[in-house]
């Protein structure tokens, strides 16, 4: 992204419900954030010079944090928390952090959990709200998953807002991925269109770390740590048998950040296949022939593949979508397992292949220390934003600072690995894999 494009196309304006006029109940020692405090989106000299040259404003994000004046009266405020989509380490840490910040810092006592994702708003599902008290959330950070439950699939935005109005929720915290963020933005816009004074604050949850303008999402660090262990086990398996192959499939529907970072964390992988870089199976330069050369030279190989890699091999499946509107992915792990076995059997070469798919195990575990701390900060910043009357925004970490990001900007496109950037170049150097294309 060059400076000229950023100067022209980036709108970072955060929607506000009105002027905050209530004194914050936070301690006098709190360092309050001023509305004028900003973080440059691109602080590189080229980007800054491009904006200055064209006399355009340098794009920046509003800093997150507590404000001196807040919009909602804590004694009369009702809040809701909803978790949507797949599981991810750290969800319960975020829920706990939100409740603690609201209850102990802002003295908000009416906090409700909306069960089973967006279904919890819809009357026909008959899911009762959950009272989120400090005692209820006391130990939930020691559990994987989400104590509120989750679901996939869209629900009618009008019905969701009807439910919010019916119980008079002032702030709703949405914890979810790309689809959830889009739903949260639609809810915020519908509330504004109706003239309902309510705040929608999102905390991005995607283990794949693929949200644009967000440096890192919670759960990613835990996923990389656990994936490294799996790759190490696959390496042990591959070395324990003649012509051994350890094949590991990791999360990464559209972006291969987990596969790339986990491979770098242990450097036992010989091939890393991600959605961002195309590869061929057949041919002299294709993956199968390259794998054969590796086995003949070293006697073993470890292959790490992100779940969204190689989708061109599944043809019409790419036109189908799941209940959440995501394009269905073919199972590249099982596909590669079968093709590898067929390839070597046809050449009468015996291989010992061990296939490992730890995805559901990794996404269900408890967050590690780093992610748990991160979740606490995200929760605190989300509450500060909601109480100050912000809406239609998410909390993200950018240039090592917590900031407010318009949801519409973050969901414009997926964040992906730059195959010409340092991360992917480091992966290629570590594995030694060539570009596996015959063209």
Residue 2: per-residue pLDDT: 39
Asked whether the beta carbons of 90 and 218 are under 8 A apart, the reply is: yes
Q: What is the pLDDT of residue 66?
A: 98
Task: Say if residues 407 and 181 touch (Cβ distance below 8 Å).
Answer: yes
The yes-or-no verdict on residue 133 having pLDDT over 60 is yes
Measured in Å, how far apart are the chain's first and last C-alpha atoms? 28
Assess whether 19 carries a catalytic annotation.
no
Instruction: Tell me what pLDDT residue 1 has.
Output: 44
Q: Which residues, other chains included, contact 111 with Cβ-Cβ below 8 Å and sequence gap of 6+?
A: 78, 79, 80, 81, 98, 99, 102, 103, 131, 132, 133
Reported confidence tier of residue 323, pLDDT bands at 50, 70, 90: low
Lowest mean pLDDT among 191-195, 267-271, 318-322, 337-341: 318-322
Q: What is the pLDDT of residue 50?
A: 76
User: How many whole angstroms separate alpha carbon 61 and alpha carbon 59?
Assistant: 7
Among the options 93, 178, 208, 210, which is catalytic? Answer: 208
pLDDT at residue 56 greater than cutoff 80: no
What domains appear along the chain, each with residue ranges and CATH number? 28-217+367-398 (3.40.50.450), 223-364+419-431 (3.40.50.460)
Residue 53 confidence (pLDDT) above 80: no
pLDDT digits (tens, 9 = 90+) for 324-338: 667 789 999 999 999
pLDDT band at 312 (very low <50, low <70, confident <90, very high): very high
Three-class DSSP category at 272: strand
DSSP 182-193: HHHHHHHHHHHH
The whole-number average pLDDT for the span 45-63 is 81
Residues 437, 285: contact at Cβ < 8 Å?
yes
CA distance 319 to 165: 37
Would you state the pLDDT for residue 4?
Answer: 42
What is residue 325's predicted lDDT score, i.e. its pLDDT? 67
Q: At what angle do helices 287-298 and 332-346 cross, to 10 degrees?
A: 60
- The DSSP bridge partners found for residue 353 are 245
CA 380/CA 321 separation, integer angstroms: 35
Residue 421 DSSP class: S
Residues 6+ away with beta carbon under 8 Å from 408: 185, 392
Contact call for residues 32 and 405 (beta carbons, < 8 A): no
321: its two tokens: 């979508």
Q: What per-residue confidence (pLDDT) applies to 3?
A: 40
Question: Residue 5 pLDDT > 50, yes or no?
Answer: no
Chain segment 342-396, per-residue pLDDT in tens: 999 999 999 999 999 999 999 999 999 999 999 999 999 999 999 999 999 999 9
Give the C-alpha distances (Å, rounded to integers) separating 395 from 150, 160, 413.
Answer: 21, 22, 17
Q: For 82-214, where are the alpha helices, taking DSSP H only? A: 91-100, 134-137, 157-167, 178-194
Q: What is the 3-state secondary structure (H, E, C) of 61-82?
A: EEECCCCCEECCCHHHCEEEEE
Percent of the chain predicted with pLDDT > 70? 96
| Gap between the Cα atoms of 311 and 328, Å rounded | 10
pLDDT of 210 higher than 80: yes
**pLDDT of amino acid 318:** 56
Tokens of 203: 């905390």
The pair of structure tokens assigned to 431 is 């594995």
Query: Please, which pLDDT band fits residue 57 given cuts at 50, 70 and 90?
Result: confident
Q: Is the pLDDT of residue 317 over 90?
A: no
What is the model's pTM? 0.94
Which structure tokens are listed for 126?
A: 């008959």
The pLDDT score that the predictor gives to residue 51 is 77
Query: What average pLDDT does the chain have?
Result: 94
Q: How far is it, in rounded angstroms, from Cα 275 to Cα 82?
A: 30
φ, ψ for residue 226 (rounded to 5)?
-70, -35
pLDDT at position 324, please? 62
Rounded to whole angstroms, the Cα distance separating 211 from 205 reads 9
């Amino acid at each position: 992204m060059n400076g000229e494009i950023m100067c022209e196309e980036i709108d970072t304006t955060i929607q506000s419900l009105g002027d905050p006029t209530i004194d914050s109940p936070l301690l006098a020692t709190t360092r309050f954030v001023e509305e004028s405090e900003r973080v440059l989106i691109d602080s590189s000299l080229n980007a800054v010079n491009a904006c200055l040259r064209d006399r355009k404003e340098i794009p920046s994000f509003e800093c997150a944090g507590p404000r001196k004046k807040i919009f909602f009266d804590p004694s009369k405020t009702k809040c809701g928390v909803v978790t949507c989509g797949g599981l991810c380490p750290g969800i319960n840490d975020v829920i706990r952090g939100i409740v603690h910040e609201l209850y102990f810092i802002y003295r908000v006592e009416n906090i409700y959990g909306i069960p089973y994702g967006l279904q919890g708003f819809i009357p026909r599902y008959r899911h009762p709200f959950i009272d989120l008290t400090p005692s209820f959330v006391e130990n939930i950070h020691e559990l994987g998953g989400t104590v509120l439950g989750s679901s996939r699939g869209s629900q009618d935005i009008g019905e969701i807002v009807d439910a919010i109005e019916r119980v008079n929720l002032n702030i709703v915290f949405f914890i979810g991925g790309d689809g959830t963020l889009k739903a949260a933005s639609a809810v915020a816009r519908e509330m504004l269109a109706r003239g309902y004074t309510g705040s929608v604050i999102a905390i991005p949850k995607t283990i794949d770390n693929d949200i644009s303008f967000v440096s890192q999402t919670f759960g990613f660090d835990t996923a990389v740590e656990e994936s490294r262990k799996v790759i190490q086990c696959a390496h042990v398996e591959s070395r324990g048998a003649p012509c051994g192959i350890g094949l590991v499939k990791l999360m990464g529907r559209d972006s291969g950040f987990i596969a790339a970072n986990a491979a770098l964390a242990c450097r036992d992988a010989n091939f890393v296949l991600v959605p961002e870089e195309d590869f061929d199976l057949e041919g002299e330069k294709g993956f199968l022939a390259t794998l054969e050369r590796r086995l003949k030279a070293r006697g073993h190989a470890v292959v790490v593949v992100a779940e969204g890699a190689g989708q061109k091999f599944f043809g019409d499946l790419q036109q189908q979508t799941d209940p959440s509107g995501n394009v269905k992915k073919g199972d590249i792990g099982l596909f590669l397992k079968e093709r590898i076995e067929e390839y070597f059997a046809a050449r009468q070469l015996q291989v010992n292949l061990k296939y490992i798919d730890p995805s559901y195990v990794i996404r269900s575990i408890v967050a590690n220390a780093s992610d748990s701390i991160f979740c606490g900060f995200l929760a605190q910043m989300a509450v500060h934003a909601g109480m100050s009357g912000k809406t239609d925004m998410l909390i993200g970490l950018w240039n090592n600072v917590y900031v407010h990001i318009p949801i519409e900007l973050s969901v414009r496109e997926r964040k992906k690995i730059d195959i010409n950037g340092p991360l992917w170049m480091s992966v290629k150097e570590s594995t030694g894999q060539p570009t596996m294309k015959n063209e």
